[in-house]
Amino acid sequence: MRRVVFVIYEDIQPLDLVGPHEVFEHASGLTGGGYLCQVAAPGAGAVRTSGGLSLHAGHAIADLPPEGVDTLVVAGGRGVDRARHDTALVDWVSAAAAGARRVTSVCSGVFLLAAAGLLRGRRVTTHWAREAQLRREHPEATVDCDPIFIRDDRVWTSAGVTAGMDLALALVEDDHGRDVAHSVARELVMFLRRPGSQSQFSVPLWGARPATDPIREAVASVNAEPGARHGIADLAARAGLSPRHLQRRFTAELGVPPAAYVERVRVEAARRALAEAGEPVEAIARRLGFGSAETLRRAFHRHVGVAPSDYRERFRALREHT
């Protein structure tokens, strides 16, 4: 039985604890008790979360031996800015991490790991909104807030909230294999499973929302099938507008012209294809509407800053490492 200790404190984000905890508990049920989950805080009992809910910490850190921890999971939340200055808590995390097989954080919990001196020379991630702060305050770490989680040897860090569940699934897979992890994901109605290389950012999520039905129709067609024909005439026909009217309304509602939006969606699809499969770059370019590998390379470099081949090598190395 592997001992998993969750570290919480006042004003954590509740899903940073509850999500990963549920993943491990479900995995424990499937493996006949593979995990012993313990929740520890500076003081045992009720812990207020950032949303006003109360969670129960079964252990006070002063009473819980730091030895014998298999996996340490540090939750995040706005309270981390106080917690990382709690000397007793930081010392306990440092002591537990010294002997733990794995040390992990969800979201801004990475700041508590940093306070414990655990990030030096590591490549780490966190929620995109805390990226600049983490870079500024901890230059000893290499901060990459594109992936939803990163493994650097025994230190695993993740982006915000639901990404903690993806991280926990990856840890379960590391322990018990893909079949168990997939069974847990099915029980929890989760995606099977988002790879760590998946970006925190997506064009549909982070772009402006169309305000009218014709533009929504055009945008939906691009997102549904990035490699289809999406010239201005094609999009105008789907929207029921003239090409000139479509161009003007699309740009006004989304802040970018149709061609630029199509390119961004195709580049994002190419990122996923490069990170998750071995499909040749030329084939990806044709399938996603770029026409040639060179066109894909130029667009990819404009948006991502590296060549497609370099991007693929980065995540191939990550998969081999994990």
Quick check: 277 pLDDT over 70? no
Name the pLDDT band for 276 (thresholds 50, 70, 90). Answer: confident
In this prediction, residue 78 carries a pLDDT of: 95
Phi, psi of 4 (to 5 degrees): -110, 120
Among candidate residues 317, 19, 23, the one with its CA nearest the CA of residue 196: 317
d(CA 102, CA 280): 35
d(CA 274, CA 297): 12
d(CA 225, CA 29): 39
In this prediction, residue 203 carries a pLDDT of: 62
The whole-number average pLDDT for the span 1-23 is 96
Quick check: 305 pLDDT over 90? no
Name the pLDDT band for 186 (thresholds 50, 70, 90). Answer: confident
Mean pLDDT, the chain, rounded, equals 90
Q: Which pLDDT tens digit goes with each residue over 82-125?
A: 999 999 999 999 999 999 999 999 999 999 999 999 999 999 99
Question: Coil, strand or helix: which one is 126?
Answer: coil
- Radius of gyration (Cα) for the chain, nearest Å? 22
Contact (CB, 8 A) for 206 and 185: no
Contact (CB, 8 A) for 183 and 176: no
Name the pLDDT band for 274 (thresholds 50, 70, 90). Answer: confident
For residue 272, the number of C-alpha atoms closer than 13 Å in the C-beta half-sphere is 15
Tokens at 311, concatenated = 């991007």
> Edge-to-edge strands of the sheet including 35-41?
59-60, 35-41, 2-7, 71-74, 102-106, 155-158, 149-152
What's domain 2-187's architecture? 3-Layer(aba) Sandwich (3.40)
d(CA 138, CA 119): 8
The whole-number average pLDDT for the span 14-30 is 96
What does the domain layout of the chain look like in residue ranges?
2-187, 203-321
Tokens at 316, concatenated = 């191939």
Contact (CB, 8 A) for 291 and 251: no
Query: Is CATH 1.10.10.10 correct for 203-321?
Result: no
CA quadruple 26, 32, 35, 40: dihedral, nearest 10: 70
What DSSP designation does 109 have?
A: G
In this prediction, residue 199 carries a pLDDT of: 61
Contact (CB, 8 A) for 149 and 157: yes
In this prediction, residue 315 carries a pLDDT of: 62
* 123 exposure class (CB count in 10 Å sphere: 0-12, 13-18, 19+): middle
In this prediction, residue 240 carries a pLDDT of: 96
> Cβ of 48: how many Cβ atoms within 10 Å?
15
Contact (CB, 8 A) for 102 and 154: yes
Q: Which residue has the higher pLDDT, 201 or 149?
A: 149
Q: Which pLDDT tens digit goes with each residue over 54-79?
A: 999 999 999 999 999 999 999 999 99
Contact (CB, 8 A) for 244 and 282: no
* 179 exposure class (CB count in 10 Å sphere: 0-12, 13-18, 19+): exposed
What is the percent of the chain where pLDDT is above 90? 74
Q: Which pLDDT tens digit goes with each residue over 236-273?
A: 999 999 999 999 999 999 999 999 999 999 998 998 88
Angle at 79 between CA 77 and CA 85, to 5 degrees: 125
In this prediction, residue 321 carries a pLDDT of: 44
Q: Which pLDDT tens digit goes with each residue over 151-185?
A: 999 999 999 888 999 999 999 999 999 889 889 98
CA 259 to chain centre: 28
In this prediction, residue 69 carries a pLDDT of: 97
d(CA 20, CA 106): 9
